[in-house]
Chain A
């Protein structure tokens, strides 16, 4: 009884003391961690910054682009992925008169990243999940709906989409519309009737596979790549027969050479990419089977060389301690024969990626004068912060110049092709690495840039962010996330989240840049009228002067813009500009998914830096089309 009484008395005391002590410790730790967070921005010594071109003179493109019929048949406009239109009715002198032509609601509230297509006086729009396809009749006032097609992807697929349930668009070829559903089906729909021609299941959500990318159709093959670098998928690119939907070839990102389609024709430029079965040997045993490296980004095609170019995604998990080795062939670029899928060359932008630097961004195929010699190049603005100019015949890196603040590397060694990582910026288990720039979504994520033949410049929508990251051990459970990292992002120096930058690919320098409060998560569009279009996450659709970046016109849409602007010649012979509004995607998940930003690690670390986005914009998908009066 006495013991009872004593313990009754002493218990609360001890507890109070414990509470006191732990509060003191907590206060100490909190202030320490707050201090450390505030200090993050000073962890940026040795930061690489982009160079600015002081005396830019417009140097029109000297090469040849594919003929332009005023239509828009694939998201990137042409196989070279320029997103450049020769239409010039809308130009720097009249663009300020642009007015609404018509609108169309998709009735959906998630992120709208797709590019509308325009073919034969019909506009085609693919929505985020449930991936409806709408055809609008441009010959009639107000562009009424011609038909809609519903593939009815399973709602469960939403659980394996890492970064909102987006879709980046369709491709048109020979009377058919081709696109992918979130639940891993490639569909072929008759462009006139909206009737399904074929539907092929190419992946399995129970393995974490999903598809968000826009396919391209080249030489009778539909090229489709998988998403799921945050789910431990084993990445692949497939070519489907455009007529039948039958899989013609599958090129895996990792695994034995025969799976990666590496054979005698494989001649990488750099020594580290040569060797037998590197897709197995550069991983711990069996880790390549769940090692990520999807192909969810953009595909370009060079008909002359008969090669397709695409980047591979990040290795999984983000916790890099789980996968010692170079993790081939993730975070790099493949050139493959479009007929057979054989790999012709490969280059790894971020060997043993430490920061989720997928290499899936667009590759713009151009012929540019480099050191006095015209080279067949591809231009690739990578997540790791560099714009790469590469010889697309052999994979040689000709230049790699920073286009955003970089602390995670010191440059690219052009002799060896190796990214020069900064050792103290490596996140590991139990240690927080701070001041990491660029962040997991990269200096630039999927949002595609545009190239103007008039100015010779590349227009890059991108991020201006840094992050802290700590890796944690993670279990692989098929169909669930396989990430293993705590991430918190914040604005990079400058105190804003994004930029729209005009970039000279020959000098490797910034010509002008327009800062934005948020990451610029929309695509870019360049036109022969010397007007460049892009959208902001708070909903402004803008036209700027291609030469000097002067804002010429803007329109506030109903939601934030993360779509891809396109332009086309209507049935009346006039030029129109179209954009989907509807915020979401990884950056906009806080609005599209209603996330709680008190947890800064929400949306894989994106929520904290986007915490004020809900004050600026709301959900809601809507097409806006503009014309001159």
Chain B
């Protein structure tokens, strides 16, 4: 009895610790397979017969890693994403910090948007950005509207203060074509 309780406690502690560890996880040799889920990304919110398609799994390793999101924030500047989307408020491109998602808010939607581009001016970065960096960008983009846990989203800006940091953004309820259905 005592032994098994101890075991249970230990396993629970281990599980809790592991979960907490994801935040700090750095995937140094990213697996190339993450894109396989992309083909399952729904681009329309209209499901004939009212039976929503099963939601594909999220490559969550990036979404739970503060390191990946931080890398995403750096890349967001380095790949000139900020040139069009500013620090999330938009300009040439639409804002990314609000709750309006023209092409969907799911990580797979955003991945597709970056890799394939979108017809009204979003460039295609196919073969220009390594896949794991795209996922880091995806995670960062989602942090802009408070869709990531607060302990993962960046909590500071290194540059001119233009807006509150991502970690203090209120979580938005995404709307738009493929927004998450309201609960």
Contact = CB atoms under 8 A, between A and B. Distances in A.
Interface of A is mostly: mixed
Interface stretch (B34-42, B80-88, B132-140): B80-88
B89 A596 contact: yes
B162 A488 contact: yes
B182 interface: no
- Kindly name the residue among B20, B79, B80 whose own CB sees the greatest number of chain A CB atoms within 10 A: B80
Contacts, number: 140
A481 B92 contact: yes
B90 A475 contact: no
Interface in A67-123: none
Interface in A16-57: 22, 26, 30, 33-34, 37
Contacts of A230: 83
Contacts of B77: 472, 474
Interface residues of A, number: 51
Interface residues of B, number: 40
A599 B92 contact: no
Contact of B92 (A5, A162, A468): A162
B95 A480 contact: no
Interface stretch (A449-457, A529-537, A569-577, A587-595): A587-595
Interface stretch (B25-33, B50-58, B103-111, B116-124): B116-124
B123 A486 contact: no
B121 A598 contact: no
A159 B84 contact: yes
Which has the most chain B C-beta neighbours within 10 Å: A5, A37, A589, A593? A593
B83 A599 contact: no
A606 to B, nearest CB: 8
Contacts of B84: 159, 480-481
B91 A602 contact: yes
A8 B17 CA distance: 7
B156 interface: yes
B8 interface: no
Contacts of B159: 470, 472, 486
B123 A601 contact: no
B2 interface: no
Contacts of A11: 20
Interface string A117-136: 00000000000000000000
Contact of A157 (B80, B94, B121): B121
Nearest to A604: B91
A470 B161 CA distance: 10
B89 A5 contact: no
B95 A595 contact: yes
A600 B162 contact: yes
A603 B91 contact: yes
B11 to A, nearest CB: 11
B78 interface: yes
A155 B120 contact: yes
A159 B160 CA distance: 25
B79 A156 contact: no
Nearest to A22: B155
B121 A156 contact: yes
Nearest to A486: B160
B95 A159 contact: no
Contact of B97 (A8, A482, A598): A598
B181 interface: no
B72 to A, nearest CB: 16
Given A157-B121, A596-B97, A488 B160 contact: yes
Nearest to A23: B155
Given A488-B162, A607-B86, 15 more contacts: A5-B13, A37-B161, A156-B121, A156-B123, A159-B121, A230-B83, A472-B77, A474-B83, A477-B128, A480-B80, A597-B89, A598-B97, A599-B97, A599-B162, A602-B88
List 8 A-B pairs, minimum CB-CB distance, nearest first: A481-B83, A599-B89, A159-B121, A602-B89, A158-B121, A596-B95, A601-B162, A33-B161
Interface of A: 1, 4-5, 7-8, 11, 22, 26, 30, 33-34, 37, 155-162, 230, 432, 468-470, 472, 474-475, 477, 479-483, 486, 488, 589, 593-604, 607-608
22 contacts: A5-B13, A11-B20, A30-B161, A33-B161, A156-B121, A159-B120, A230-B83, A479-B123, A480-B123, A486-B87, A488-B162, A593-B91, A596-B89, A596-B95, A598-B164, A599-B95, A601-B86, A602-B88, A603-B89, A604-B86, A607-B91, A608-B162
